Amino acid sequence: MRDAPEDQSITVSIPGSASACAVPDSTDAECRRAADRRMTQRLLMELLVVVVLLIPICVYEFAVDPVRRGFFCDDESISYPFHDNTVTPVMLGLIVGLLPILVFVVVEYVAHLRAGDISATVDLLGLRVSTWFEELARQTSFFCFGLLLTFDATEVGKYTIGRLRPHFLAVCQPQLTDGTLCSDAANLHRYVENYECAGEGFSMEDVRQARLSFPSGHSSLVFYAMVYVALYLQRKLSWRGSKLSRHFVQFALVMVAWYTALSRVMDHWHHWSDVLSGSLLGVAGALITARFIARMFDEGVHGIGIVTGGLRRENTAATLQEEVCPSTPPPYSANGSFNEDQYCTKV
């Protein structure tokens, strides 16, 4: 009887892909093309999700007005003077958007350079690109997904609560429907719901922004970005020369977030509780994204060894010429005598 033919399948593992190509009688090139197609489809789907997450942000910013809340004319918490932003929206965009991507670029490039696979390529959106660029795209998509989730959650809070900023009275300059002003003695301790904002010296956008205090968008976004990058560095990098170097960089990132959050209270753009809530929201977003989306803490997903020189940790038992035992049995046999065969010893 003729023996059954052996399975001629070829398995090809693609960096950054959870699945392998195993197709009977297929060539290595065919397997790689199939894996590249799956990779491209996955990336396109992730880009589509990112676009969908942008829709609520655009709707809130351009088509929705925040809840209109009343106030007490003598409320000191909303009577602070108006100050310009210490951390402007442009600066925030550079910190939250550009800085993390630059970190991803440097880390992924150097890691693959040290691993010796910098010249390896994959097919991505019909183009042959380096594997390090494909990994960069994956890491960036994870980061952007979590960032947009945090942004969406922040916008929902702002437009649902409609909390007044500390400088609300200075920007709005409310005029009551009876023609009086908040500064009139008759209106002290009076809760006002029907009013119009004169807003002299301020734009309509300034007046609208004065109703969007809770939670702090600066705090939520910057804490998300900096904590996520700190976790990324913790998982990806280690410096052989100085054990504290990585932790110093992580501390610096968190301090950038901390200063940004403090500046919101200092500039009278937010109450302290707005900043606290925004910061907690950002940290939660970073932890959830790192744990469940980027899966940084999963066993078997090792760091990229910029100084350790490889993508994977190796079992050192073979190097030390030791016999590896799955478990250590009891030292005595059933009759109570010592059993040398039950021991696993070094060679």
Distance in angstroms (rounded) separating the CA atoms of residues 147 and 232: 14
The answer, yes or no, to whether residue 8 has pLDDT greater than 60, is no
Q: How far is CA 79 from CA 34, 111, 193, 216, in A?
A: 63, 53, 17, 18
Q: Is 268 a catalytic residue?
A: no
**Phi/psi at 11 (nearest 5 deg)?**
-110, 125
| Surface-to-core class of residue 285, CB atoms within 10 Å of its CB (0-12 exposed, 13-18 middle, 19+ buried) | buried
Q: How far is CA 56 from CA 163, 197, 308, in A?
A: 20, 27, 43
DSSP 8-class letter at 4: P
The answer, yes or no, to whether residue 3 has pLDDT greater than 70, is no
Average pLDDT along the chain: 82
Q: What percent of the chain has pLDDT over 90?
A: 55
Q: Dmax over Cα atoms in the chain, in whole Å?
A: 108
The answer, yes or no, to whether residue 346 has pLDDT greater than 50, is no
Global pTM? Answer: 0.78
Instruction: Return the domain boundaries, the chain.
Output: 28-293
Q: Is 247 a catalytic residue?
A: no
pLDDT level of residue 35 (50, 70, 90 thresholds): confident
DSSP 8-class letter at 241: S
Distance in angstroms (rounded) separating the CA atoms of residues 75 and 190: 10
Query: pLDDT: is 123 or 226 the higher one?
Result: 226
List the catalytic residue out of 167, 218, 268, 271.
218
